[in-house]
């Protein structure tokens, strides 16, 4: 619910405390999961929310492979860091957040105002940086979209990207970025939360 | 507000429609701004929300420089793509989302469970990828945190990163990633929204 100016909040249009808690303030990275399924409908709702997040020239390079079956999970396991194997086996779904290295071929449709494809087609370094930056932004939108829909997330970068790419993307066009376990986390198995940097350590106002 | 199971939502713990609209579904990238200030208190509240978003081993590499004064904005202007100059001049605040290339020096405090600093200190390529990926995730958290607090965002990557780094980070330790204008957007000056890829174009379930 958005707070109105006459509510207790000082800012109109702000999410209330429970919503801020769920999406960021009290949300945690989970590696232990309740025995409660995640449906294909959940995955479609996550995508239909995350897709609206902003990307540069609407380039939308992220591609998501949701691993739900035992067989698909088993194809992933050899690429994982040892500590990530069991949490991934037990998670109802593991998302591979990848990006399309030829994302710019969709720009005439996604951003029809200028010839944005021409910015990238002969500039592989710019294309790679753009795909990685914007695909990562979309991975963050995926994490927060899952939380906003009542699920929990367990993002991981401890795995062998090249091995995942060989197994899942043998034609070389999509490239793996990071992984996100999805499900309903078991809060009783969380360890204490790590500290964060203070504003004055991480930010400046000029 | 979170919906309870007996509300109209089908999922307990899910944000309601107004909150989903504000953060993602109806939120837009703005480049025209209302004449309404953004205070230092807003910037501190944005940071205090975004800081809770997950990063790998809690590494938290993002560093944010909020440009609020005319003088600071003028230092940025020569590095901007021509189309980004006016929106940035008129925005109440422009955030430089950067990352600390020596982020791993904070890991003994941020992630005291293992010697995570040792993963990075002699692996500059891994350190650079980790800083870019996780600093970008934190930039996405900044965008959505601003929206959750009732503000609007205008992220931009059309600028000369090296020129920004020379001007603002001459010692070479922090590196610019992208920019985010912050303020209250003028919805009357938005153009029609770009399309998004469908689930079947961008995702698979295995």
Q: What are the tens digits of pLDDT across the range B164-189?
A: 999 999 999 999 999 999 999 999 99
Q: Nearest residue on chain B to A62, judged by CA atoms?
A: B202
Query: Which stretches within A35-175 are classed as H helix?
Result: 40-50, 70-76, 82-90, 107-110, 117-120, 124-148, 161-168
pLDDT score recorded for residue A1: 53
Distance CA A153, CA B190 (A): 33
- Sequence-ordered list of residues with C-beta below 8 angstroms from that of B139, at least 6 positions apart, any chain: A137, B62, B97, B155, B177, B178, B180
Best of A71, A106, A194, A201 to substitute, by most chain B Cβ atoms within 10 angstroms, is A194
Interface size, chain A vs chain B, as Cβ–Cβ contacts under 8 Å:
223
Phi-psi region of B171 (alpha: psi -120 to 50; beta: other; left: phi over 0): alpha
Contact (CB, 8 A) for B88 and B171: no
Distance CA B97, CA B176 (A): 6
**Does the beta-carbon distance from A148 to B24 stay under 8 Å?**
yes
Q: What is the pLDDT of residues B66-98, one digit of tens each?
A: 999 999 999 999 999 999 999 999 999 999 999
CB A73 within 8 A of CB A85: no
Provide the 8-state DSSP code for A175.
E
Which tokens go with A60?
A: 């939308």
Taking an 8 Å cut-off on Cβ atoms, the answer to whether B54 and A153 are in contact is: yes
The partner residue sitting opposite A66, judged by closest CB among B63, B68, B204, is B204
Q: What is the 3-state secondary structure (H, E, C) of chain B?
A: CECCCCCCCCCCCCECHHHHHHHHHCCCCCCCECCCCCCHHHHHHHHHHHCCCCCHHHCCCEEEEEECCHHHHHHHHHHECHHHHHHHHHCCEEEEEEEECCHHHHHHHHCCCCCCHHHHCCCHHHHHHHHHHHHHHHHHHHHHHHHHCCCEEEEECCECHHHHHHHHCCCCCEEEEEEEEEECECHHHCCCCCCCCCHHHHEEEC
Q: In 10 A of CB A161, how many CB atoms?
A: 17
Taking the C-alpha atoms of A68, A72, A73 and A74 in order, what is their torsion angle to the nearest 10 degrees?
150
Nearest to A205 among B66, B143, B156 (CB): B66
Which residues are registered as beta bridge partners of B159? B80
Written as tens digits, the pLDDT of chain A (206 aa) is 555 544 444 445 899 999 999 999 999 999 999 999 999 999 999 999 999 999 999 999 999 999 999 999 999 999 999 999 999 999 999 999 999 999 999 999 999 999 999 999 999 999 999 999 999 999 999 999 999 999 999 999 999 999 999 999 999 999 999 999 999 999 999 999 999 999 999 999 99
Query: Which chain B positions have a beta carbon within 8 Å of A50's beta carbon?
Result: 24
Residue identified by tokens 């951003």 is: A111
Candidates B157, B160, B176, partner chain A, best to mutate (most A CBs within 10 A): B157
Residue contact A157–B133, C-beta within 8 A: yes
The residue written with tokens 């070389």 in the block is A172
Give the pLDDT of residue A12. 56
Identify the closest residue of chain A to B201 by CA–CA distance: A63
B42 within 8 A of A25, measured Cβ to Cβ: no
Beta-carbon neighbour count of residue B71 at 10 Å?
9
Residue in chain A closest to B59 (alpha carbons) equals: A196
Q: Are A21 and A147 in contact (CB under 8 A)?
A: no
What are the two backbone dihedrals, phi and then psi, of residue B157, each rounded to the nearest 5 degrees?
-120, 10
Contact list in A for residue B111 (CB cut-off 8 A) is 194
ipTM, two decimals, is 0.95
Does B18 sit within 8 Å of A1, measured CB to CB? yes
Q: For residue A70, which residues of chain B lie inside 8 Å, CB to CB?
A: none
Which residue from B minimizes the CA distance to A138? B140
Asked if B109's CB is within 8 angstroms of A54's CB, the reply is: no
Chain B: nearest CA to A123, how far in angstroms?
15
Distance CA B199, CA B180 (A): 28
Q: Residue B5's pLDDT is what?
A: 47
Percent of chain B having pLDDT more than 90?
Answer: 93
Contact assignment for B140 to A145 by CB distance below 8 Å: no
Does the distance separating the beta carbons of A199 and B44 come in below 8 Å? yes
Predicted confidence at residue B9, as pLDDT, reads 41
- What's the pLDDT score for residue B12? 56
For the segment B124-128, the average pLDDT, to the nearest whole number, is 97
Q: The tokens of A112 are what? A: 């029809």
Contact (Cβ atoms closer than 8 angstroms) between residue A117 and residue A108: yes
């Amino acid at each position: 619910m958005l707070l109105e100016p006459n509510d207790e909040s000082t800012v109109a249009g702000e999410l209330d405390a429970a919503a801020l808690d769920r999406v960021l303030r009290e949300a945690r990275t989970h590696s232990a999961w309740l025995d409660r399924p995640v449906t294909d409908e959940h995955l479609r709702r996550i995508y239909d929310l995350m897709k609206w997040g902003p990307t540069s020239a609407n380039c939308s390079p992220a591609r998501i492979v949701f691993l739900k079956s035992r067989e698909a999970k088993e194809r992933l396991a050899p690429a994982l860091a040892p500590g990530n194997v069991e949490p991934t086996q037990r998670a109802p779904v593991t998302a591979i957040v990848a990006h399309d290295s030829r994302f710019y071929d969709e720009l005439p449709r996604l951003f029809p105002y200028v010839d944005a494809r021409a910015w990238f087609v002969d500039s592989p370094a710019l294309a790679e940086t753009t795909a990685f930056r914007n695909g990562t932004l979309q991975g963050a939108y995926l994490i927060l979209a899952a939380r906003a829909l009542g699920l929990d997330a367990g993002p991981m970068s401890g795995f062998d990207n090249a091995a995942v790419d060989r197994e899942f993307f043998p034609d070389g066009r999509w490239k793996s970025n990071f992984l996100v376990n999805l499900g309903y986390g078991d809060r009783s198995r969380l360890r204490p939360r790590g500290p964060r940097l203070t504003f004055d350590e991480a930010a400046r106002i000029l």
